[in-house]
A and B are shown apart, each in its own frame.
Chain A
């Protein structure tokens, strides 16, 4: 005979105590009812009994031992919970669900064994729902689901069942069926049942004892006919109870009550203070038209028209003094054309030789990719060079009246070296024209220098048959599989330098990627690693081990300058570098160190020492390192 005892128990939520000083005992075979109106604390007490809530005071004893000292498993094998019939989240079969009642009696993992299935089937049979065992528990009726939940609790083989309003939400017939099963279980004497209900008549029919909660938390405890009285019902529910005598099947006579409405206000409203807060939101519509005005009026009058890389005609002030570099290849051209000091803002770049050759660059404000347009207005920018972005930058610059020139090739990827060189020249010329004066002259010098270098290399390579050209792959980084195709300096300048670029004609621009299997198939003779990435990207990767370039020790770093050689005008030096690297015999007389020194002197007015030029050609930074944190 098991005993569940409450000793001077107080329970509640948070800071609030709902019920105080409860003392009673429920034993095996008892059918104990908790009765009370909504919000009276029935569920709070139930949850405290189930240990979901901690008691505010007092204690709960199971066979003389405080329940707080039981583990979850020990507790579940003594006391089972029957929740209100709910729709489970997953459509488990009824048998699967009932078998979960065995959790507390299984091993650590909770896998059900044959015996557990047998217990579950027995529980189903006890409640006369064995035929439902393979039905989905989401598809049976509410009454059947409630019985299945009771079966699950029975499968726990507990001493007590704690049932939370098992009859609510059930139709008349199912209420009687569920109550009948519960009453029978209690009568058999092996288990005790504690159950909450809304219906006083249920308690009068079946209870062995009732705890009735009245107004203001007053409780009365005792036999049902002593506790569930006319006065209790009138005071608690605000009704006129009408008593009716009736006989039960077992011959007992009971008095039950028909609820009659008292008239007047609805009782629930008395307790419930409905507070409605009407929140009025007012939105202010701010008309912004006309604020912008015509920014052009404040600048110098437009005096000339220039065609940018998209073919747009753009009006420019006669003198361009303040330049915004909104794309990464802009600064190098300004520097090369002697106009670096005119840059007021530039997109952040950090190539290795930039700071050394022009310390003045530190004075130029570095900006994120998305410029602050107000700042551009504030700085009275005469012209902004930007990469094509029709929807954002272009529209915005136009609306602000800032002359904007698209300064990178747009639309097509070059199909031939001629087209590529043409694009390179056009973009330099664009800067020359926009900056005017000496800059324009310098852009012409650069074009002639380019033509001369191309002619020289082509002449030396003349007669080299296609099949004798070495296969080359360029590693752009950060991964060895990132490379560049026909949209890049590296592809065309290397090809002009005599390389057979394995990337073939794939129109990859700044940063594409290829597959490792293609690389095995291409089996390049030479691998170039750009952007100061470590050669270990290739050398330390076992998948590369069988590739010719790795086997023959032909993995080389490429040099980087004021900008990376894979972008911008200085990339022309890559052509000579590649040509000399691949065909040293044909370029025996070409002194790369001298070529680099010459280029830097001519276009950057900077004298590189022989040592510095050698460092640059090894792909290193002025400090000798080959590591650039901004690269990765």
Chain B
């Protein structure tokens, strides 16, 4: 019993360490940027929102901290946490460490929605809504195709196959839109959008994405124990008393809400949902009760750090999707080479 308790408290300690790491990254992110802000001013500006401090700083410093950096930090941490936790949930549900949150075509669908909006010259808010809507539509289509195709004993395979198909259909539709687009303006706009960026995230974007992301994350978090059971496969989970269909649908819906909202405001940010859960598992073991919170904390810190690089490395903003994929790719390779060792 004593040993058992110490194992659990060690895991709780790991989570605490990750939380401290995230707090440090958040603090550092307020200090990083192309506009020089002295650390004490940054801290004072933040503190002044909680307690009264007579401003001794120039107003544009406050604007930099609160209007430029704060929304980006919130967006990067939130989207990083959300994509990672959906990745972890999907990997558990599909019983495969190489699954990422867009396996069912949500990113392709959202990309298509955005490309369509850009092509038709819609305003930014409508482009976001289109991206979000088509992301949901793509996954709904995959799910319906899979359940219409018959109730197999293990329907995850059918869902994944249907997801791959709808995903590739939407990818081709994106190409079709790109092909039809005006090459000087619309085409690069679509391309840049798909690369992903938090450069122009504003408070309005946060309001847009906060609800689906929070609802999705909270739901996945509540289902962390059931994910353990689901990872033994549909039949066993059912025999253990889980309503498999309903649970799967809930997890898919939550992960889809999250990913579609994330893509809608930040474009397609790759690999994070694949790599972070893997790292989390290395740190806290396989139990989803710990993998999920660890993925949230680690994912938030990871995307925040990547975005700090994106906005401070060069004068021009580097698309975030490029950075996460570039830094994530070596991990992914490691993952491929070591999958058997880590999983079996």
Contact = CB atoms under 8 A, between A and B. Distances in A.
Interface of A: 47, 50-53, 71-73, 75-77, 79-81, 83, 87-93, 95-96, 100-101, 103-105, 109-112, 117, 133-134, 138, 152, 156, 328, 347-350, 368-369, 478-481, 506, 508, 510-518, 520-521, 523, 531, 541-543, 545-546, 567, 627-632
5 contacts: A50-B239, A75-B241, A89-B231, A103-B240, A110-B226
B60 A523 contact: yes
A81 B236 contact: yes
Given A91-B343, A100-B240, A517-B64, A632 B118 contact: yes
Contact of B199 (A349, A516, A545): A516
B120 A629 contact: yes
Given A89-B95, A369-B183, A516-B199, A109 B285 contact: no
Interface residues of B, number: 68
Contacts of A368: 179-180, 183
B241 A546 contact: no
B182 A630 contact: yes
Contacts of A91: 285-286, 343-344
Given A348-B182, A632-B121, A514 B315 contact: yes
Contact of B311 (A79, A517, A546): A517
Given A76-B239, A520-B35, A543-B67, 16 more contacts: A50-B235, A89-B95, A90-B281, A90-B343, A100-B232, A138-B343, A156-B241, A349-B184, A369-B187, A478-B118, A478-B189, A515-B33, A518-B34, A520-B68, A567-B184, A630-B185
Contacts of B225: 103, 109-112
B143 to A, nearest CB: 20
A513 B243 CA distance: 49
A501 to B, nearest CB: 14
Interface string B1-27: 001100100000000000000000000
Interface in B149-189: 153, 179-180, 182-189
- Chain A CB within 10 Å — which of B64, B118, B186, B240 has the most? B240
A38 to B, nearest CB: 19
Interface of B: 3-4, 7, 33-36, 59-60, 63-64, 67-69, 92, 95-96, 118-122, 153, 179-180, 182-189, 192, 197, 199-200, 202-203, 222-223, 225-226, 228-229, 231-232, 235-236, 238-244, 281, 285-287, 289, 311-312, 315-317, 343-344
A521 B241 contact: no
Contact of A109 (B179, B223, B240): B223
Contacts of B153: 47, 52-53
A510 to B, nearest CB: 7
Contacts of A71: 243
A516 B229 CA distance: 47
A577 B153 CA distance: 71
Given A481-B200, A517-B34, A73 B96 contact: no
Nearest to A513: B317
A91 to B, nearest CB: 5
Contact of B231 (A79, A90, A103, A513): A90
A90 B226 contact: no
A103 B242 contact: yes
Contacts of A75: 241
Contacts of A541: 200, 202
Contact of A518 (B59, B236, B238, B315): B315
